[in-house]
Each structure stands twice: as C-alpha cells, then as structure tokens.
Amino acid sequence: MRSEAGATLPLKAAAIGGLLFLHIPLALIVLYAFTTEEKSFQFPPPGLTLRWFGAAWFDRPDIWGPLWLSLQVALLATLIALVLGTLAAAALWRARFFGKDSLSLLFILPIALPGIITGIALRSAFDIMSVPFSTWTIVLGHATFCIVVVYNNALARFRRLSPGMIEASMDLGASGAQTFRYVILPQIGSALLAGGMLAFALSFDEVIVTTFTAGQQATLPIWMLNELIRPRQRPVTNVVALIVIAVTFLPILAAYYLTREGEHTGGAGK
C-alpha cells in the first residue's frame, strides 16, 4: 500500500505539471485581455480594465470581415464533412472487400499529416487546375480534415449499430430513405452532432492550411497572426483570442458530453 501511495505522488505531480504547461499560456491570454497597459506586459498587470473589449467591438471594424469569413468557412466545411464523412462511414461499415482497412487509413490520413504538407498539396492542386483563390478554396482545404473527424465519429457509432435493426426495418416494408430517417439517424445523431461541432471548432481556428488556400483573404486566426507585429494592438488581439477560445471550447465541450457514454467513439479524444 505504501509503495502504491509513493508511486501515486509523482504521477499526480506529473499530471498537474502537464495541465499547468498546457493551460498557463491560455490563462495569460485571458489575463492580458483585461490589462490597462497598452504596449508592455508586466506581471502582475498594473491594473484591469474592460476598455479593450469596447475597442474591439466599436473601434476595429477590420475584425468583422475576418470573423464573418471564419464563420462562413467553418459552417460550409462542417456541412460538407457531415455529408461526405457520414456517407463514407456508412459505405465502409456495410461493405466487405479486400483492402478495406487500407482505404479506411486513407480517410484518416489528412488529419495525421502535418498541416503544412496538406496546405502545399492543396495549393499545388489549385495552381495546376487554375482555380482562383476564394472562400471555396479555404472551405475545401478545411473539409479535408473536417471529414476525418465526422468519419471517425460516424464509423464508431455505426459499429455499435445492430444490422438486425436495419434488416427488420426493410422486412417491414420501409424504404432505404425511411430506414435511414427513422432507424439509423436516431442511433447516430448524437455522434454526427459531436463530429460536426468538433469539425466546426477545428475549422474556425485553423491557420496553416488557411495560409496556403486563402489567397489575399484573411480569416480571424490569420488576422490575429498579422496583428502580432503591432505591439499597441496586442490587448485587442488578446480580446479576439479570448473570443476564439470561447468559440472553439464550447463545441468541443459539448461534443465531449455527447460522446462520453462510449469510450470508443471516434474523435472524442481529439
């Protein structure tokens, strides 16, 4: 018993150290969004204020364009991912053929590859096909990894779905569309919702792939990256970063609660 207690303390210390390492930078962003100091970052801050929130809301109209573009891209990429990811998961769940595991690996590969590789590949493809950079090139770039998140969640839930339910529905005269609507969709709905929210969060704060597919446009994360070279605007940038944290954290938290009943739900640990 003593040896177990002795071994637990280093593990607890390591866990606490890991959490602090991950979250102290986020806490500093939140703290300095309220600082009264405009240029330098003293610790502790000389004072706290809400004026930078007002400055971001009323005095910086250049924020709204990138914010709206980020929301558009995230929503469109999520919709594409929900359709294609669900269809791909359903096809691989039902089908039995040689090379199925290899094909499944190819679906997961885009999220495993470094973002810079995906970005370079997409930019090269767009250049070869003479596709002009637009909102849709960003959407297609984001969809490459959003599809993976939805695919993982949908496939994991499909694997827990009894084929007998589908067979019974068809035996009772239901069409394929009716079977999907009344039998399959209620079973996989929470997994799709969780996958969609994870995909939205990943798309909303994506930087690397966006850099290669945006052209002259700027999403909100790209806007923040450009603002870092302006020291006087750093508190406003921290306010925007705080908004991005909230927008991405809430869908991920909701997705976690939607999928926590099954430890094998794909994407729950991302």
pLDDT per residue over 165-199, tens digit each?
777 777 677 776 777 777 777 777 778 888 888 88
The pLDDT, as a whole number, for residue 263 is 44
Half-sphere exposure of 134 (CA within 13 A, CB side): 4
Question: Quick one: CA torsion of 199, 204, 210, 215, rounded to 10 degrees?
Answer: 130
pLDDT per residue over 84-143, tens digit each?
988 888 888 776 767 667 777 777 777 777 888 888 888 888 888 888 888 899 999 899
This prediction has a pTM of 0.78
Terminal Cα-to-Cα distance of the chain (whole angstroms): 35
Query: In Å, how far are 33, 132, 165 from 225, measured between CA atoms?
Result: 16, 23, 50
Distance CA 77, CA 146 (A): 7
Structural domains of the chain sorted by starting position, each given as residue range(s) with its CATH number in brackets: 11-49 (no CATH), 61-260 (1.10.3720.10)
Half-sphere exposure of 239 (CA within 13 A, CB side): 20
Q: Which amino acid is present at 106?
A: L
Is the CB of residue 193 less than 8 Å from the CB of residue 258?
yes
Helix (H, G, I), strand (E, B) or coil at 35: strand
Distance CA 131, CA 180 (A): 36
Establish whether the linkage from the previous residue to 10 is cis, with ω within 30° of 0: no
Is the CB of residue 188 less than 8 Å from the CB of residue 261?
no
Question: Quick one: CA torsion of 80, 84, 85, 88, rounded to 10 degrees?
Answer: 180
**To which residue do tokens 């991005």 refer?**
244
| Bridge partner list, 48 | 35
The pLDDT, as a whole number, for residue 267 is 42
Q: Which amino acid is present at 157?
A: R
Q: Kindly state the percentage of the chain with pLDDT values over 90.
A: 9
Residue 261 has pLDDT above 60, yes or no: no
Is the CB of residue 157 less than 8 Å from the CB of residue 127?
no
Half-sphere exposure of 187 (CA within 13 A, CB side): 20
The pLDDT, as a whole number, for residue 270 is 40
| Bridge partner list, 35 | 48
pLDDT per residue over 29-60, tens digit each?
788 777 766 665 666 777 777 777 877 787 78
